[in-house]
Amino acid sequence: MKKSFLAISLIVGCSLFLAACASAPTAEITATKAAVATAQTDDVRTYAPDSLKAAEDELNKALAEVQTQDGKFFVSRDYKQASAGLKSAKDLAEKAASDAQANKAKAKSDAEAVLAALPQSIEEAKKALAKAPKGKDTRADIEAMQNDLKVAEEALTEANTAMSNGQYKDALTKAESAKEKASAITEQVQKALEKVRGRR
Q: Quick check: is 4 in a domain?
A: no
Render pLDDT for 117-140 as a digit per residue (tens, 0 to 9): 999 999 999 999 998 888 777 788
Render pLDDT for 91-120 as a digit per residue (tens, 0 to 9): 999 999 999 999 999 999 999 999 999 999
| 165 shares a domain with 95 | no
Domain housing 59: 20-103
By CB atoms closer than 10 A (0-12, 13-18, 19+), residue 87 is middle
Name the domain boundary from 85, 103, 121: 103
Q: Quick check: is 15 in a domain?
A: no
pLDDT (tens, 9 = 90+) of the chain, 200 residues, equals 545 544 444 444 444 444 445 689 999 999 999 999 999 999 999 999 999 999 999 999 999 999 999 999 988 999 999 999 999 999 999 999 999 999 999 999 999 999 999 999 999 999 999 988 887 777 888 999 999 999 999 999 999 999 999 999 999 999 999 999 999 999 999 988 887 776 65
List the Cα angle 141/147/151 in 5-degree steps.
140
